[in-house]
A and B are shown apart, each in its own frame.
Chain A
């Protein structure tokens, strides 16, 4: 989680907002393979 206050919602909604839902992890892998700087969340 980034250095911010996350509000309420379902756990999955919050995981998506904070960037570590499954699709976010997959996307991070793809980006790091492309040598794109991954935004740290």
Chain B
């Protein structure tokens, strides 16, 4: 489907082209850019609301700053569609997130304008600061370094660590706080309230405008006058807000809040800030989904809606003539609520993924026992550990790739302390269109090596449900061990999954199919591929045995003895990395049990 850009956008192939336009044309560029994003995402899918919210900001940044010499770092990156379209990728944008197509996130290999690869949140300040320090060391004092970070990403510890360093690093760093009160779900926490306080203080905003006007004059009078103006400005901010400014207390000059959709004002403000040396932060207030009414009204639904009719807003869904299996995340969400209704000790924790994990089902029914702690995986793990010390049964749901951010907390706060926290790792294995930053490739390897940690993966929805039931029982606590339950993005295989709970044996696998000559050992839903493979092979008269081992740790030693005494050819299959994974575990077991096994091939 041919989607034509507007008449100005058509001739913008790089930001150089954009910078040739008059300021009075930028409103039209923004309008055309927004429409182009709507047109493209409605047909090809992808993230939606976040990019619409930064159309003006994107245009203004590339207009004012000399990108790519000035370095622009997008946090998370799902808001960077406008950036990609303005930086030479408009004509391939229809391949966004498709196999062999362009990435849905900024990617260093893809463009010199993508200064830093992203996908996870809260890295932009540290990355931009690193670039700024390098520029300073190289004497490239003309270069600007800009980190664009959302208020959701700002809640993570890494963002604070970056600001804490930036405040004393004396570099040309501009942090743009894109404040839209949202992550994928509505933002949470005290920082959100603080930002709202600044944004809505009429008295402060009146003073702010006046100070800004004065500051503009002082900027033309030199550094000494800027310092005086800055002191006056700080005093005003502190007095009017009745508290010291959080960002200024970290050594960052705070500017704003400004309307992130007023393109002309944004250009003017950024031009001013370009001439103010040192670390600074501009607070931009934006609306996620801006310019598409439905996306503005239901920002979570329109975060990444899939393809849709841009006129009616109808989101296209496949229509089936028979019941379909549920998503694993929904099995998790409904099962946890069911268990929590029977067991008052159960709690649920998510770091900013209520809808992505389906913990929102329990949050709605039991808001005191299911908590969204913000984009803060480290905190999510340690708060779960704290709850576990008090006897709570904690299900901490984190995407597999996001759990990488909280590894020390798993080791230090959970495993060493023998706390029976139940980690549910969604998006394990290949995540799909989100790409390498989101593939849950490593969790079997990084969890399996830890003492006091079990690793399980269900082959289907019933196994997930029954294992959740099993580990929710008090008797699981006798193991003094945490457990990782990993399952993939997307649907399972059993439409009729709401069956009565059954207790599962810990550390035990099962046989799926008896066979000859070869044994296929699988873990997790990938075992269903092995079932299909066995059906294909049966047509050729080949009948391998198939075992669903369920646990990568502890391995089912007695079943492995049985398998290895019967077969000298074993194939392991897992949706995870080779080194350190389930296959490695089986090889280690065989190496440790040489006398009971036929040498495997």
Q: Do A and B bind each other?
A: yes
Q: In the complex, are the beta carbons of A1 and B571 less than 8 A apart?
A: no
Contacts A10-B99, A10-B433, A11-B488 known; A3 to B575 CB distance under 8 Å?
no
Q: Is the CB of A8 within 8 A of B433?
A: yes
Residue from A9, A11, A23, A29 in contact with B542 in the complex, judged by beta carbons closer than 8 Å: A29
Q: Max chain B CB contacts within 10 Å: which of A10, A13, A14, A32?
A: A14
Q: Contacting A6 at CB < 8 Å: which of B436, B526, B571?
A: B436
Q: Mark A20-32, 1 if CB is under 8 A from B, else 0.
A: 1111011011101
CA distance A3 to B576 in the complex (A): 10
* Interface residue from A14, A33, A35 paired with B432 (Cβ < 8 Å): A14
Total CB contacts across the A-B interface at under 8 A: 100
A25 touches B530 (CB 8 A): yes
Bound Cα distance from A38 to B577, whole angstroms: 17
> Does the CB pair A9–B578 fall under 8 Å?
no
B99 touches A13 (CB 8 A): yes
User: Counting chain B CB atoms within 10 Å of each CB, which of A3, A25, A33 scores highest?
Assistant: A25
CB neighbours (8 Å) of B435 from chain A are 7-8
Q: Are A33 and B529 in contact (CB under 8 A)?
A: no
**Is chain B's interface secondary structure helix, strand, loop, or mixed overall?**
loop
Q: Would you call B436 and A5 a contact (CB within 8 A)?
A: yes
Residues of A within 8 A of B211 (CB): none
Complexed CA–CA distance, A10 and B537 (Å): 25
In residues 402-456 of chain B, which contact A (Cβ within 8 Å)?
429-436, 439, 441
A6 contact set on B, CB distance < 8 A: 430, 436, 439, 441
Residues of B within 8 A of A14 (CB): 99, 430, 432, 439
Please name the residue on chain A nearest to B490 by beta carbon: A11
The one of B100, B518, B579 in contact with A32, judged by C-beta atoms closer than 8 angstroms, is B518
Closest to B528 in A: A22
B390 part of interface (Cβ distance < 8 Å): no
- Given A8-B434, A10-B99, A29-B542, A41 and B578 contact (CB-CB distance below 8 Å): yes
Q: Tell me, yes or no, whether B342 is within 8 Å of chain A by CB.
A: no
Residues 560-581 of B, flagged 1 when their CB comes within 8 A of A and 0 if not, give 0000000001010101111100
- Do B578 and A3 have beta carbons less than 8 Å apart? yes
Contact B573–A20 (Cβ < 8 Å): yes
Nearest-neighbor residue (CB-CB) of A10 within chain B: B432
Inter-subunit contact B537/A32 (CB<8 Å): no
Residues of B within 8 A of A35 (CB): 601
Q: Is B533 located at the chain interface by the 8 A CB criterion?
A: yes
B407 CB to nearest A CB, Å: 19
User: Is B98 close to A, CB under 8 A?
Assistant: yes
- Which residue of B is nearest A13, CB measured? B99
Question: Would A8 and B432 count as touching, CB distance under 8 A?
Answer: yes
Residues of chain B within 8 A (CB-CB) of A9 are: 98-100, 432-433
State whether A8 touches B569 (Cβ < 8 A).
no
Asked if residues B569 and A33 are in contact (CB atoms below 8 Å), the reply is yes
Selected contact of A29 from candidates B97, B439, B520, CB within 8 Å: B520
CB contacts under 8 Å to A, within B528-564, are: 529-530, 532-534, 536-537, 540, 542, 544
Given A1-B441, A1-B578, A8-B97, answer yes or no on A26-B536 (Cβ-Cβ < 8 Å).
Answer: yes
Shortest Cβ gap from A18 to chain B (Å): 8
* CA distance in complex: A20, B574 (Å): 8
When chains A and B are docked, how far (Å) is the Cα of A30 from the Cα of B541? 11
Is B489 an interface residue, CB under 8 A from the partner?
yes
Q: How far is the CA of A38 from the CA of B517 in the complex (A)?
A: 16
Least CB distance from A30 to B in Å reads 7
Which residues of A have CB within 8 Å of B100? 7, 9
B573–chain A nearest beta-carbon distance, Å: 6
- Chain A residue contacts of B578, Cβ below 8 A: 1-3, 40-41
Distance in Å from the Cβ of B404 to the closest Cβ of chain A? 14
Closest A residue to B579 by beta carbon equals A3
B544 touches A29 (CB 8 A): yes
Residues of A within 8 A of B544 (CB): 29
* Cβ–Cβ < 8 Å partners of A28 in chain B: 571
Are B569 and A32 in contact, with the CB atoms below 8 A?
Answer: yes
Q: What residues of chain B lie closer than 8 Å to A7, measured between beta carbons?
A: 99-100, 103, 435-436
Q: Is A25 a contact of B529 with CB atoms below 8 Å? A: yes
Closest-by-CB residue of A relative to B434 is A8
Alpha-carbon gap, A38 to B601, bound state (A): 10
Contacting residues, chain B, for A32 (C-beta < 8 A): 518, 569, 571, 601
CB of B430 within 8 A of CB of A15, answer yes
A22 nearest CB neighbor, chain B only: B532
Determine the distance from Cα of A28 to Cα of B567 in the docked complex, in whole angstroms.
16
Query: Inside 8 A of B532's CB, which chain A residues have their CB?
Result: 22
**Does A22 lie within 8 Å of B569, measured CB to CB?**
no
Judge whether A20 and B537 touch: CB under 8 Å. Answer: no
Pairwise interchain contact A22-B542, C-beta atoms closer than 8 A: no
Contact in complex: A29, B518 (CB < 8 Å): yes
Tell me if A22 and B529 are in contact (CB < 8 A).
Answer: yes
CB-based contact A22/B99 at 8 Å: no
Contact assessment for A8 and B536 in the assembled complex, using a CB-CB cutoff below 8 Å: no
Q: What is the CB-to-nearest-CB distance from A21 to chain B, in angstroms, rounded to a whole number? A: 6
Specify which chain A residues have a CB less than 8 angstroms from the CB of B97 in the assembled complex: 8
Most chain A beta carbons < 10 A, residue from B430, B488, B530, B536: B430
- Which A residues are CB-close (under 8 A) to B103? 7-8
Contact A23 B430 (CB under 8 A): no
A40 to B: closest C-beta gap in Å: 7
Task: Give me 7 other A-B pairs in contact (C-beta within 8 A), A6-B441, A9-B100 excluded.
Answer: A10-B432, A11-B429, A11-B431, A14-B439, A25-B533, A29-B544, A30-B537
9 contacts between A and B (CB under 8 A): A6-B436, A7-B99, A8-B97, A9-B433, A13-B99, A15-B430, A25-B520, A26-B537, A28-B571
The 8 A-B residue pairs with the shortest CB-CB distance in the complex, in nearest-first order: A9-B99, A8-B435, A25-B533, A22-B532, A26-B533, A14-B430, A22-B529, A13-B99
